[in-house]
Structure 1
Amino acid sequence: MSWFKKLFLAFVLLTILGISTIFVTYLVLKDELPDVATLKDVRLQTPMQVFTADGELISQFGEQRRIPLRLDEMPPMLIQAFLATEDTRFYEHPGIDIIGIVRAATVVATSGELSQGASTITQQLARNFFLTREKKIIRKVKEIFLAIHIEQLLSKDEILELYLNKIELGQRAFGVGAAAQVYFGKTVNDLTVDEMAIIAGLPKAPSLLNPVRSASNARARRNIVLGRMLDTGAIDKTTYDNAIAAPVTSRLHGAQITASAPYIAEMVRQQMVERFGEEMTYSDGFKVYTTINSKQQTQARLALQQNIYNYDERHGYRGPVALAWKATLENNEGETPVFKEDSPLDETALQQYLDQQPGIEDLLPAVVTAVASQSAEVMLKGGQRVTLEWDGLKWARSFINDERQGAAPKTAAAILAPGMHILVRQQDNNWRLSQEPTVSSALVALDPHNGAIRALVGGFSFSQSQFNRVTQAKRQVGSNIKPFIYSAALEQNYTLASIMNDAPIHQWDSNAGIAWRPRNSPAVYDGPIRIREALAKSKNVVSIRLLRGIGVDASIAHLQKFGFALTDLPRNETLALGSASSTPLEVVTGYAVFANGGYLVQPYVVDKVFNSQNELIYQHNPLLACNNCAADMAQTNTELTTETTESSLQNQDPLPKHAPQVISAQNAFLIADALKSSVWGGGDWRQGTGWNGTARLAQSLKRRDISGKTGTTNDSKDTWFTGFTPDLVVTSWVGFDDANRSLGRATWNANLGRDQSAGTEAGARTALPAWLSFMNDVLPNYPERATAAPVGISSVRIDLASGLLSRRNDYTSDFEYFKLGTEPTQYAAGSLPQLQFGEEKQEKTTELDELF
């Protein structure tokens, strides 16, 4: 009994000593422990997501990949996998697992090393939020105290939800939602049991156990997790056997991008960093909704890329990317050419070679394995074998330079040989030989009513070049400048019926000691010509004569109204030919003034921003083009009393802001209407007086509400087309990034027949097709609507030769629009005076007039 009393007394003393030690330790560490109450309002670092206006994901930015989920959004099997592996008694213990601690303490006592963690999920949560991963006793003690505090503050489900969203799982994936996306390209609800087990096994060593880095390590850890799930009853034996037998297949997946708009994504990223700073932008879980229409964006990208391919093909084939092995053509007679091949790669070596080769956009790396008379067999990355038929090869005459191409090939052996590493793509379900383009392009679509950018493609591929040619490339605009010059002329009482002399200009430059001889392109001169026709035909010398008539300074001042910078406008007569340099975004914004009735809108791409709690924190309030702005503003001012304060409006929709009217509605209408002649031409083809505008290819759209203008600079270094309807303005540009390089010309390819575009590259041939392809797809969403003439516009019949009034109603005359007060006052010679005849008699009078 004496021995038992001593033992009991010792136990009591040790217990008191232990409790006292814990209490003293707590008092010592209390001031060092963080406030776990912050977990009540925790903000997980979440990447910024960028969406189209219709909700398609464009991009995601952030150092940590995280997809926060509520606990009820996670599959129960995935939760059970973590509990079975990390903390089977999670719902029973008070935050610390005494059995686990004793086990870990025993290891420390026997080995002197802290090799077992014994951390519950609550302790891991405490460490992840507040502590480091260093293996020290003091850190473990802090972890225990914090875990007890957390259990008092949060419910078990709240703790588990925070843990499963916070835990680091490798490859910059934090939380189970991000891990499912990164490793398997799935949502958590689409994971299989074996995939859930792989993810649940990652917390032990995320960098070593993830399936991308080591499939064998991931498999071994997965099997341990599955065994624990079987032991705890989370899965049955059949499920266990099936999951154990499943192969480990994983690769890195990015965010589930559903709309390809990388140039837009980068624009948004820059704007968000400027507005909110880098830290908030990349970690506060912003959801940014842009003005981009996902369907229009896809159509813009495809139109631009196909147009580049077309240019590239008509200028010839530059040869293979490389040689996987060398083959020499020995005999090209018969259906199968004979090659001598030096050390061809076997199947395995060839696949290994291709696995290391990059593609770009829809261009896939391939190696030629066999060549027939007019076809070739190639192997793609992954081992797929496809055939390039003659229709996909016959374009590939050799590229000599930008001005010259070789002869049209007659056989596949004249183009390809076994061992060639080439690029191929699919077009209309057929495989086609291709090459990485060297030419550049840009396309941007704008809503003229508010400046919203609906589609923007800044180049062939963002991976090829991040240089955004829509916003960053200032290029000479060529004849795209002419509508603005003509608009200035209308302000100086010129009319669309004014007659100008389309004749060569020879001007001596005493400083240079040479004559300046600007020419039309093509060098055709029509003599006296109406301004409408001169604009539609893009007559260079007429544009210069108009500039002289209104003055260079007045022209520059007028161009500035459209948003063009003074520093980009040369103060000489070359301004009339487009020597000014602007970005495609500046050009499309300027043209929007003609489309919307004279208002200068501001282009924008960020529409709304929501925070991680789905609260609206930013709403763009665009400048609106408004034909009744004065009336609207008067109504608004009437409704707002003097007692109205900013605080009373802060929870209401912001008041609309009106874009400044920079030209009159009459001026905008006249230019827009004149630019329709660029598409449809004029005259009477049956009478031999018909003529085409430079944008006649746009007639294929069969829309009478389209206005447009081509643009080509000297030596075809820049080509443009800008066209618009009342609801959409689109600019297309094609050129080389090297501004000194000409787009050249393409000679006739005998293999292609009529299905080609030969000749010198120009706006109508090079830039218009991309615009046309894009508009062909998107215009069905914009009903055709005629633009009503604004107040202050009259329409009178004029003589087409002289621009004077006419009473004839045959092919020599037509109706023309004028600003009130600028109509001609004289009748053309041969026009009979107005008589009060009936309609039938009037027709006879016209016939008599024609005789004279």
Structure 2
Amino acid sequence: MPIKKEPKPKRLIKSLFKWLFFIFLTLLLSLSVACYFFILELNKELPDIGQLEHVQYQTPLSIFSQDGLLIGEYGEKKRIPIAIDKVPQQQINAFLAAEDERFYTHPGVDYKGLLRAANQLLATGKKRQGGSTITMQVARNFLLSKEKTFLRKLKEILLSLQIEKRYNKEQILELYLNKIYMGQRAYGLAAAAQIYYGKNLDELKLHQQAMIAGLPKAPSIYNPIVNPERAVERRDYVLRRMLELNLIQPKAYEQAVNAQDDAATQPTKIQLNAPYVSEMARQELLAKYGEDAYTLGLKVYTTVPARLQIAADRAVQFALHEYDERHGYHGLPHKKFTKTSSLKSLKSLGDSRQAVVTALSTVGVETRLSNGSSVLIAWKNIPWKKSGFNETHSKDINSFYIKPNDIIWVRQLADQSWALTQLPVAEGALAAINPTNGAILAISGGFDFYRSRYNRAVQSKRQPGSGFKPFIYTAALEKGFTAASMINDAPIVIEDPSLENDWRPENYTRKFSGLTALRVALRKSINLVSVRLLQDVGIPSALETAMRFGFDREQLPATLSLALGSGYAPPLKMASAYAVFANGGFSVKPYLIQRIEDHSGAVLFQANPLSVCLDCKEGLKTVSNPAPRVISEPINFLMNSLLRDVVDLGTATLAKQSLGRSDLAGKTGTTNEQRDAWFNGFTSEIAVSAWLGFDNSHPLGKGETGGKAALPIWIEFMKTALEGVPEKALTPPEGIVQAYINPNDGLLLNENNNAGIWEYFTAETAPKTYSVPKQPEFEFDEEWFQEALF
């Protein structure tokens, strides 16, 4: 029977189908091979996931006081790295419900999620972030860029598969929770808890945990501070997913969704307000590490104890208010508080706060602060009352220059009462250092850092005035002068070709005392004695001596005006120079940073300053970096004796009266027209320089000398600095002798002569001859003459 052939069309279709199938298989195989080699090549371009084993989180620079209080934090990214075993399980559950419910079962890629994202793309034609697992987010955040391309997505998938093979789920989750951006500059879970709620992770409630878990999807949209309504919607979605996944019970769910969210901008966590100190440390770190200083998570411990820093700021503010109250109230006209004003808009600067006047009464001025609390300013605490004001008569009250709705400045006094005040126009500064090693103990650069960031304690170039005289006197003692050397306090004219007129220096009192001992001249700060002394010592010798105390040559003019402190120096430089007197004659360098630690606590830097070791010469101990001696022990003793005299009997007696101690030493300083007021003083434990003046060098006013304007800063600070510190007597070292002398010529007197005084000398300069008593002038006695004749 003949075989029936298929119709030709059918054979053609079959043949075509076979060829098409063959072509399809060939294309599929080619595509597979191409994909294989493409992925193979792509894998070569992928970053090494081994980087994840050595992750360096970008954490802020933190600066601390000597006693561990936070005084500053710098860096755009706020992050607090935390180990996964410190994260509450409920918080982890919230993130899994919100971001990746199959995290513990997928191999790094959730194919269902990817298909869902692909369907969305086909349906809408738009690329949207979706289908990303926590592992894929780790790959993207740590190893890839943020661009949204198919190539980057493919790399993300490949990296995720590699990550899952190399790291366990807990390691991946820890990386994610520490890296993810949470809005408000917060990176990572722990930082978000602090930024939004001011809490540690173990203190968060369920509704807060859900709120934070909802942030990574879109931090800008679901930010509870910026967009609370959308944020609550997202929070409730997270809670609903947790309920559906049996991660929470229905009762807990109901309580959480009904809870009112309390996310808010948190107050700064700064524990010690010391912005001048913090800024100094920041600049040092920036110079040392560059911009990396803000991201390496460095912890910087300064030499400044909180107790002394608080005292320094308080002392500067106290003295500025005292100066202001001596020169009148300049706060008029007052700004008005209107119906549209808010109490929250009231400002605070230094120790002063704005307040709104609510009423005036016979008791005082009633006010309201920014926090809504009421404060009474008693009439006795209003130092600028008009002349003749009678606080018992209402008609006088009604005519008073303070009215209801005025915005005034107030401050709280030591007795907790409140007083009317104003923002000082003058400025002040204080620098304190440890004289044994130069450690900075306090820096106050002005009334308030946020009014003026200019750090007058470190950056200013002010004339030290009479505060420079001790360095001239030191040079003189080294040249053989003594505390009893007599110098003529008389008018002097200095010819100077560089000046239009001759220079005629004057004493502050514009009086002259004739021959004056150096001890008395320094005690009274007599200018003309200092000028003549510099003439005798020689300017080159004086400059060389001053530079041994740490002054730079460019700070010092090579003219006789140097005797009156016509150079320039900031308070920190003056404190450092006076530290030489305080520590026995050694040069130390001020330093601020004691220790730097990295993010793990490893010490990167430990200060090793020049240190004074008075016991080392006796073999009792040693120091690794001994400070060099710059003046001899006998000369240092004599200068201490002279500078103690300034406090005991001279221009700074207020210090002894206020502090009741006998171991205080120092020197007041006042420049021409009272443009700068200084007091530089010390004990063996601390050297402190205080300054008060105007930034524009405007005169402070008649009588505003160093002893009146600046010394109160020093005294107020030292009340705290010397608390509990025992007095230390001044003991003459070897090479110092005492002699009973005639104070009028510096020569020896018999000890039975009541007109003499005891004075210290070096053994080489002690007087060897006795003073010849001045013969009384003959007085003509007319009555005797007549009797003698007759």
C-alpha distance in structure 1 between counterparts of 2:390 and 2:546, whole Å = 50
Partner of 2:12: none
SS in 2 for 1:476: coil
2-structure distance, mates of 1:77, 1:744:
68
Alpha-carbon distance change, 695 to 657 in structure 1, aligned in 2, over 3 angstroms: same
| In structure 2, C-alpha distance between the alignment counterparts of 1:554 and 1:407, rounded to whole Å | 59
Shift in Å at residue 373 of structure 1?
4.3
Counting only pairs closer than 5 Å after superposition, residues 677-826 of structure 1 correspond to structure 2 as: 677-681=645-649, 692-739=650-697, 741-745=698-702, 760-808=703-751, 812-826=755-769
Q: Could you list the per-position Cα deviations for residues 45-90 of structure 1 after superposition, in whole angstroms to 9, with x for gaps in the alignment?
A: 1111111222111211222111111123333333332222212232
Alignment of 1:317-716 (within 5 A): 317-319=329-331, 323-324=335-336, 345-346=338-339, 349-351=340-342, 354-373=343-362, 375-392=364-381, 394-397=382-385, 413-427=399-413, 428-505=415-492, 516-627=503-614, 656-681=624-649, 692-716=650-674
Distance 2:152 2:333 in 1: 57
Query: CA distance change for structure 1 residues 285 and 631 in 2, over 3 Å: closer, same or farther?
Result: same
User: Quick check: 1:320–1:422 contact (8 Å CA) kept in 2?
Assistant: no
The residue type paired with residue 588 of structure 1 is A
Residues 656 and 662, structure 2, Cα contact 8 Å, conserved in 1: no
State the partner residue of 2:236.
Answer: 223
Residue 116 to residue 547, structure 1, CA distance change in 2 (3 Å): closer
3-state SS in 1 of match to 2:722: helix
- In 2 relative to 1, CA 456–149 (structure 1 residues): closer, same or farther, beyond 3 Å? same
Superposed displacement of residue 175, structure 1: 1.0
Post-superposition CA distance 1:605-661 (Å, at most 9, x none): 11221222222222222112234667879x99xxxxxxxxxxxxxxxxxx7222222
Structure 1 contact 194–246 (Cα < 8 Å) conserved: yes
Alpha-carbon contact 2:354-2:407 (below 8 Å) kept: yes
TM superposition shift of 1:457: 1.2
User: Counterpart in 2 of 1:689?
Assistant: none
Query: Are 1:185 and 1:256, in contact at CA under 8 Å, matched by a contact in 2?
Result: no
Shift of 1:490: 0.4
Between stretches 211-220 and 519-528, larger displacement belongs to 519-528
Deviation at 1:304, TM superposition (A): 1.3
Aligned residue runs from structure 1 range 221-300, under 5 A:
221-253=234-266, 256-278=269-291, 280-300=292-312
* Alignment gaps of 5+ in structure 1: 1-8, 326-344, 399-405, 637-654, 682-691, 746-759, 832-852
Residues in 1 aligned to 2:522 and 2:284: alpha-carbon distance in whole angstroms: 39
Deviation at 1:249, TM superposition (A): 3.6
What code does the residue aligned with 2:767 have? P
Q: CA deviation at 1:507?
A: 5.5
SS in 1 for 2:58: coil
Of 205, 214, 229 in structure 2, the residue corresponding to residue 201 of structure 1 is 214
Q: Secondary structure, in 3 states, of the residue corresponding to 1:77? A: helix
User: Which residue among 86, 94, 97 is the counterpart of 1:81?
Assistant: 94
Question: Distance in 2 between the 1:595 and 1:414 partners?
Answer: 52
Q: 1:234 to 1:792 in 2, by over 3 A?
A: farther
Q: How far 1:22 moved relative to its partner?
A: 6.9
**Shift in Å, 1:227:** 2.8
Task: Indicate yes or no: 2:106 matched with 1:106.
Answer: no
Distance 1:17 1:104 in 2: 27
- The verdict on how the C-alpha distance between 1:160 and 1:388 changes in structure 2, with shifts beyond 3 A counting, is same
1:26 corresponds to which residue?
39
Equivalent pair of 1:479/1:709 in contact (CA under 8 Å): yes
RMSD: 3.0
**Is the CA contact (8 Å cut-off) linking 1:291 and 1:607 kept in structure 2?**
yes
Question: How far did residue 259 of structure 1 move?
Answer: 1.9
Once residues 510 and 206 of structure 1 are traced to their aligned partners in structure 2, the CA distance between those partners, rounded to angstroms, is 72
Judging changes above 3 Å, is the alpha-carbon distance between structure 1 residues 59 and 609 closer, same or farther for their aligned structure 2 residues? Answer: same
Conserved? CA contact 1:81–1:197, under 8 Å = yes
Give distance in 2, aligned partners of 1:96 and 1:511: 84
* Partner of residue 315, structure 2: 303
Q: SS in structure 2 opposite 1:60?
A: strand
Q: Give the 3-state SS of the residue equivalent to 1:226 in structure 2.
A: helix
* Preserved CA contact (<8 Å) 2:435 2:588: yes
Q: Distance in 2 between matches of 1:669 and 1:445?
A: 22
Distance 1:520 1:433, change over 3 A: same
Tell me by how many angstroms 1:594 deviates: 0.9
How far 1:247 sits from its partner (Å)? Answer: 3.3
SS of residue paired to 2:441: strand
Q: How far, CA to CA, are the matches of 2:341 and 2:723 in structure 1?
A: 47
**Shift in alpha-carbon separation, 1:321–1:430, aligned structure 2, 3 A:** farther
CA drift at 1:714: 0.9
Which letter maps to 1:562? Answer: F
Do the aligned partners of 2:78 and 2:186 also contact (CA within 8 Å) in 1? yes
Q: TM-score, normalising length from structure 1?
A: 0.82
Contact 1:474 / 1:583 at 8 angstroms: preserved in 2?
Answer: yes
Q: How far 1:390 sits from its partner (Å)?
A: 1.5
Give the structure 1 partner of residue 328 of structure 2.
316
CA deviation string 1:579-604 (max 9, x = no partner): 11111111111111111121111111
1:237–1:361 distance in 2 versus 1, CA, 3 Å:
farther
Q: How does 1:103-182 map to 2 (within 5 A)?
A: 103-115=116-128, 117-182=130-195
Higher mean C-alpha deviation, range 208-217 or range 229-238: 229-238
What secondary structure, in the 3-state scheme, does the structure 2 residue paired with 1:461 have?
coil
Amino acid at match of 2:517: R
Q: What SS does the corresponding residue of 1:168 show, helix, strand or coil?
A: coil
SS across alignment from 1:789? coil
Map of 2:224 onto structure 1: 211
Stretch of structure 1 that moved more, 127-136 or 234-243: 234-243
- Distance in 2 (CA, whole Å) between partners of 1:542 and 1:94 is 90
Cα offset for 1:110? 2.8
Q: CA deviation at 1:816?
A: 2.1
Distance in 1, matches of 2:230 and 2:753, equals 88
User: How high is the TM-score relative to the length of structure 2?
Assistant: 0.88
Q: Which moved more, 1:497-506 or 1:701-710?
A: 497-506
Q: Which amino acid aligns with 2:96?
A: L
Report SS of the residue matched to 2:367: strand
Offset of residue 28 of structure 1? 4.6
Question: Larger C-alpha radius of gyration, 1 or 2?
Answer: 2
- Conserved? CA contact 1:53–1:294, under 8 Å: yes
- SS state of the match for residue 558, structure 2? coil
Q: Please give the alpha-carbon distance, in whole angstroms, between the structure 1 residues aligned to 2:352 and 2:133.
A: 51
1:179 and 1:17, CA in 2 relative to 1: closer, same or farther beyond 3 A?
farther
Given residue 646 of structure 2, which amino acid in structure 1 is its aligned partner? S
Which amino acid is 1:534 matched to?
Answer: A
Instruction: Give the aligned residue type for 1:302.
Output: R
> 3-state DSSP class of the match of 1:292?
coil
Report the residue type matching 1:590 in the other structure. Answer: A
Which residue in 1 is equivalent to 2:10? none
